[in-house]
Each structure stands twice: as structure tokens, then as C-alpha cells.
Amino acid sequence: MAELDRRCLLGGSTRMDVAGRPPLQAQFHVLLEGRCQLQVGRVLLEMRPGDLVLIPSGSPHRVITPGDGPLRTTDETAGDSFITMHSADGGPAVIDLFCGHYSFDPGAGAVLFRSLPDPVHVSFGDSRETDEVLRMLSALMRGEARREGTGTAAILSALSTVLLAMVLRTAPNPPTAEALWTAASHPRVVAAIECVLDDPGADWSIERLARSAGMSRATFLRHFSQETGMNVGAFVTRARVMAAADLLGNSDATVATVAARVGYHSESAFSRAFRSEVGMTPARYRRDHRHRAQPAKGEAT
């Protein structure tokens, strides 16, 4: 689930500190106009129009706008759907930055976000195919933010979800230290990834995946590592755990049955892999998932 927290119309020489988020929340920033820096720990990112930064860990960070004057702080104005940030001393804005967060479940969602680089910095403006889509999304987000009325929060949430999908599926050559496995572009590697995601319970040896990609073992391993930033074994494990989390949360199948469906011959081996990726046992995950779902069911009745 996506939620827009604030729109930042900041003047020059402004520093805005952004607090960290609780577990199972990832922050994002999309720059619509101007240039700024985003500091996450020791990493300093240069953002330009069309850039999106995703912080899967939800770590605290800092936004800095360019300027030669003394650093300025920020003031905020509360709205019905989001907070608007301005530089404390007023003056014209040099950036238009949307800031929000994604909430995800402790199963498949947590595995997916943990598998991403932290932070992820994507420049959609580097791709003609996605640049047009981003301009359209930016115009819609800015227009909706200006009118801010009934349904604004839901509309901005939906548009922010589209942005996440663009990052995960079509991000072109992300300028990060690691690759996004969800945005692999080599058609044969993509074919192998889709095979695993379609049938995670199959016996996916390196040799079988290499054959499905039409490559030699060595060539497949080289391309897979370059495209995904991980080895085959780690990817297969994550794909299986994500599928298992879905089964545990949406079916009454026993843990042993779920383990078999996602390719584990041993329930204990499955439980170890699941706990390593998710941070809890399959049984605990199912209990927590059902507990979280109960209030929603109660409200609907």
C-alpha cells in the first residue's frame, strides 16, 4: 500500500531531515522539478527531474537543496491528504519533491524489499519509453496535489503504486551499486526468471535454468549475476519463500504441504529457509497474518 506523506516546495540552501519509518515500511521520493541532494547514511545522491529514490530499509535521511546562502530549515502546512513543506524563511521554491512510503507485509513483501539495493536510485529520464509515462504521472500527481479534495489521498496512493511498479519492472540501467533483479532486461535471463516465478516448486538446477535460457552453464551464470545482482540459488530461495508466504496467508494448507508445493522435500529445511528470509517461522507468520486480517473482517461486518 502506498501513501503520499508530503509535498516539498523548498527554496535554495534548505536542509530537511526525514525521520526513519517503522518496520515494514519503505520510503520513496520522486523529484518533479529542480535539483537536490538526498543523503542516506554515507550515500549522497544527486537527484534531477524524473528521478525516484526508494529506501527499502526506511532509514532516516536528509534532503538538501542547492544554494550559496546559510542553510535554512523547513516549516510545514497540514492538509487533508498530505503535508506541504516550505523553507522557513519563505522565498521561491527551487524543487517540487513528493515524499511518501510503501507499507508491505512481513512475508513476500519483506522478502522483495530486502532483496533490493538500499537505497535504489532510478532516473526514468534516461529512458525514452518511460520518460513519457513519468511526465504523465508527474502531471497527474501535481494536478491532484493542487486541487486536494475528496479522493485525493486515494488517487495519489494509486499513482505512487504505479511508480513503484515502474521501478521494480522497467527501471532502465539503474545507477546503483547493485542491480534490481525485478528489472532484468536480458530476454533469456528474464525467461529463466519467469520460469521460476511461474513454478517455484520445480527442481530448478542451474543446468535446467541454463537450458531454459538457451545458454551454456557458464554463460548463464555470468549473465544472471550481472542482470540480477545475486546468484541463482539465492534467487530460487527467495522466489520459493515469496510463493510460500502467499500460500500460508491465503490457504489452509499445512506447513508440510506448502513446503512441498514450493519445492522443499523437508519441512525442517523449508522452515529454516523461510525463517532466514522472513525472520519468523512459517507457523508464526500464518498466525500473525490471520491476526492482522481479523480487524479488517470485523470492520466489514
Tell me the per-residue pLDDT of 207-245, one tens digit each, with 9 for 90 and over.
999 999 999 999 999 999 988 888 999 999 999 999 999
CA–CA distance, 39 with 119 (Å, rounded to integer):
10
* Nearest partner of 45 among 33, 55, 56, judged by Cα: 55
Residue with cell 521501478: 167
Does residue 295 have a pLDDT over 70?
A: no
pTM exceeding the 0.75 threshold for the entire prediction = yes
What CATH number was assigned to the domain covering residues 182-293?
Answer: 1.10.10.60
Q: What is the pLDDT of residue 57?
A: 93
Domain ranges of the chain: 2-176, 182-293
CA–CA distance, 239 with 35 (Å, rounded to integer):
37
What CATH number was assigned to the domain covering residues 2-176?
Answer: 2.60.120.10
The mean pLDDT value for 186-190 works out to: 91
Q: What is the pLDDT of residue 300?
A: 45
CA–CA distance, 267 with 244 (Å, rounded to integer):
12
Q: What is the pLDDT of residue 39?
A: 96
Tell me the per-residue pLDDT of 146-178, one tens digit each, with 9 for 90 and over.
887 778 888 988 988 888 887 777 655 444 445
Q: Give strand pairing partners of 9.
A: 86
Q: Give strand pairing partners of 100.
A: 4, 28
* Nearest partner of 113 among 239, 26, 243, judged by Cα: 26
Tell me the per-residue pLDDT of 1-23, one tens digit each, with 9 for 90 and over.
889 999 999 999 999 999 999 99
CA–CA distance, 239 with 243 (Å, rounded to integer):
6
